[in-house]
Structure 1
Amino acid sequence: MGVLLRFFFVTPIQLNYKFILHAHSHTALLGWIYLGLTTLIYKIFLSEAQKPNLYKHIFIFTNICIIGMLVTFPIQGYALFSIIFSTLFLFASYWISWFAMKNIPRKFKNRFSWKLIKTALLYLVYSSIGPWAIGGVMATLGPESIWYKTSIYFYLHFQYNGWFILALLGVLFYIFEEKGIVFNPQKLKSFFLLINFGVLFTVFLSVLWFHPPVIFYLFGLVGAVAQVLAFYELYLLLKKHFPILKKSIAPRAFFLLKIAGSLMVLKLVMQLFSAFPYIANLAFQLKDFVIGYLHLVFLGIVITTLLAFLNYFKLLRLPKSFVSIFLLAFVTTESLIFYKAIAFWISLPFFQHYYVCLAILSCLFPISVGILFFGNFKIVNRKS
């Protein structure tokens, strides 16, 4: 669907662009990242809870909701059936959060890794205020209201800055804990407070597009600075333990983690600058900056880290050809997206076949995922 969206700018396609866009975003975030994270959480923390049947029911219900969205969004966009499946998915997310909180084995309860996972699940639940608000906004104020976009950005912010990133950090700390590494409790407390302060206050960066009062910019800036300090604290906590991680994780997975770490620095810098009015207005005027930023976070940080951890826990094998093609697709498409935004910003030449190049290079994504899927499918069959 992502490739299809790129081909809309190359050739006439008799489909609704917005409907496909909604289907693409819901399936990517909920059908892939969400399922990947909840699978890791179950594997690491909850498999000992001896509730496989209940988990299986949650898993099946969740996938029915996702498939429902996958089918209905391209046909009708936001309408009766897609809203029903989206709403049911919210209940599925509440169900898995309740399941995790209730059934966590006692031995994990005081671990810092579980503290991060639990907080991530709380952000998952908290983010759902956005989708609930959308229904009320559309019924009363309409989709043109500033509250419509604000509800969407609220949801996205707490998904990727809260739920996704804190859950991945929880898995990272679990790996170190299993290696017997003990961290300074005061440093952990400082990091935890800073990162949560950052998550809560950077939500103000999501509303700068409608030129709010100056205090919103200040709150957003404070949140961005807090996140920079949090990840600097994290770096100080982990830097002497990187050799242990490198020894215990496969080279390809460690390479993906290094890429994710480098891109996290870039994300923090971009986020910091976006708190200033000129940059905030620029991002609003040139949507490719926002599209490039979101793809950088999802594809470059969240998915690379998720793949590395799925590989570490032997849930996924990473063929060399997959990693190479996936990274080639990511680097080339991101470069083109940001080039377009910068070209319009500072009046650089915009080459004629831009959209054709972007669409063709985007085809590398399903090729790489096909290699990943069939490579792992063969292994499962061989084991069976």
Structure 2
Amino acid sequence: MIDLKKHIGIALAYFLVVALMGVLLRLYVVTSLPFNYKFLLHAHSHTALLGWVYLGLTTLIYKIFLSEAEKRKLYKRIFIFTNVCILGMMVTFPIQGYALFSIIFSTLFLFASYWFSWFAMKNIPQKFKNRFSWKLIKTALLYLVLSSIGPWAIGGVMATLGPESIWYKTSIYFYLHFQYNGWFILALLGVLFYFFEENGIVFNPQKLKSFFLLLNFGVLFTVFLSVLWFTPPIIFYILGFIGAVAQALAFFDLYFLLKEHFPILKKSVQPRAFFLLKIAGGLMVVKTLMQIFSAFPYVANLAFHLKDFVIGYLHLVFLGIVITTLLAFLKYFEMLRLPKSFVAIFLLAFVTTESLIFYKAIAFWLGLPFFQHYYLCLAILSCLFPLAVGILFFKHIKSLYLSA
């Protein structure tokens, strides 16, 4: 028997390391610290995406859809191999950045993700194969695989055109786009629909088909928004705008699909988890609007020159939508607890740091006053993240110890 709560404990350990790395990155601007900023930034982003969120999602998918497949030994091998890759990246990136050993471990991780995707699609029990929830999960896994084109391309670009080429950033943004908008979002939506299916909710097949097509059309076409930073031909802006509108229509459809069933969700999910889901839903509206506006040349150019808009957007999606939803689902499926202190401190950290990040971008854009101790304030408020995650992690470990 696999104790999946231990696997979530490992994912939370990565989450804590990510939060501590984030504080160091913020302190780097305030005082002299003995590390390479870019190297640690690579470690921070890789551990966040591939350590904490990837493990959280794959463990959740295994518990819900694959635990009945009786393939525990194979899943354990995949899990161990994945963690070797994550630990390798976490150690090598801060030391050498993109170099031999970090590239080896990040490449091996791609194979680990392919292995899990193959494992899930091959071993899904028959009873799930025709469910809409599994259709979303399967599509999310396809986007996970598709996103890996970005890292593969980076190696070729570095060897031939160099890091100054437009293809270098384009490869990175391609990867991030299909991670955030494809793999993360669709996997979480799959878990959400699984909840409703298990509660006996039957949706109109035509409405599900419309939502699914609009959602995927939006994911595929909003990739054009990722290349607007180098001012491409106007057709790229048009295609990106069409994709952003399609995604907005998809979530509009989703809202009306689920609206009458929200009372069931509220009744079934613990209040703090439901509160996090409401926050994620509200921020999804903000994200969708930001995507639509970013298709306009003026806004796209603004985001390129004021990086804090992009940083704020990525943190909004990652911390405000993906992580809050993931935590709510992990709580619902009894894989962790959500202490009140964690929720309060985490949301305080998120709101205050996001406000400062966007304030800086808006201040430079509109020529507003920029206060003297901005970076120190941002660093101090960022310390709330490891405090919150530390509470969550150690209470989770304590619960594992007490139940042993």
| 2:38 corresponds to which of 18, 30, 35 | 18
| 1:2 corresponds to which of 13, 19, 22 | 22
Task: Quote the residue 1:104 is aligned against.
Answer: 124
**2:114 maps to 1:94:** yes
TM-score between both structures, scaled by the size of structure 2: 0.95
Task: Quote the residue 1:136 is aligned against.
Answer: 156
Tell me the percent identity.
84
Residue type of the partner of 2:37?
A: Y
**2:203 maps to 1:183:** yes
Report the Cα offset of residue 14 of structure 1.
1.7
Following TM superposition, the consecutive aligned residue runs of length 4 or more in structure 1 with deviations greater than 6 angstroms are none
Task: Quote the residue 1:336 is aligned against.
Answer: 356
Mapped partners of 1:310, 1:241: distance in 2: 20
Task: Quote the residue 1:204 is aligned against.
Answer: 224
Mapped partners of 2:129, 2:71: distance in 1: 18
Classify the secondary structure of the residue corresponding to 1:92: helix
For structure 2, the residue ranges without an aligned partner over 5 or more in a row are 1-20
Residue type of the partner of 1:48?
A: E
Task: Quote the residue 1:278 is aligned against.
Answer: 298
Residue type of the partner of 2:231?
A: H
Mapped partners of 1:316, 1:215: distance in 2: 47
**2:111 maps to 1:78:** no
Report the Cα offset of residue 100 of structure 1.
0.1
Task: Quote the residue 1:348 is aligned against.
Answer: 368
Report the Cα offset of residue 323 of structure 1.
0.3
Report the Cα offset of residue 376 of structure 1.
1.0
| 1:154 corresponds to which of 168, 174, 177 | 174
**2:273 maps to 1:253:** yes
Mapped partners of 1:115, 1:258: distance in 2: 24
Mapped partners of 1:163, 1:336: distance in 2: 29
Residue type of the partner of 2:304?
A: F
TM-score between both structures, scaled by the size of structure 1: 1.00
| 1:236 corresponds to which of 249, 256, 276 | 256
Mapped partners of 1:147, 1:207: distance in 2: 9
Task: Quote the residue 2:327 is aligned against.
Answer: 307
Report the Cα offset of residue 13 of structure 1.
1.0
- Size of the alignment, in residue pairs? 384
Mapped partners of 2:23, 2:59: distance in 1: 27
| 2:185 corresponds to which of 158, 162, 165 | 165
Offset from partner CA, 1:316-369 (integer Å, 9 cap, x none)? 100000000000000000000000000000011000000000000000000000
Report the Cα offset of residue 156 of structure 1.
0.2
Offset from partner CA, 1:121-147 (integer Å, 9 cap, x none)? 000000000000000000000000000
**2:279 maps to 1:263:** no
Mapped partners of 2:130, 2:35: distance in 1: 51
Offset from partner CA, 1:27-70 (integer Å, 9 cap, x none)? 00110000000011000000000000000000000000000000
For structure 1, the residue ranges without an aligned partner over 5 or more in a row are none
Mapped partners of 1:202, 1:365: distance in 2: 30
Task: Quote the residue 1:226 is aligned against.
Answer: 246
Report the Cα offset of residue 374 of structure 1.
0.7
Residue type of the partner of 1:206?
A: S
Task: Quote the residue 1:380 is aligned against.
Answer: 400
Report the Cα offset of residue 97 of structure 1.
0.1
Task: Quote the residue 2:194 is aligned against.
Answer: 174
Residue type of the partner of 1:344?
A: F
**2:318 maps to 1:298:** yes
Structure with more contact order per residue of length (Cα contacts < 8 Å, sep ≥ 6): 2
Report the Cα offset of residue 279 of structure 1.
0.2
Classify the secondary structure of the residue corresponding to 1:13: coil
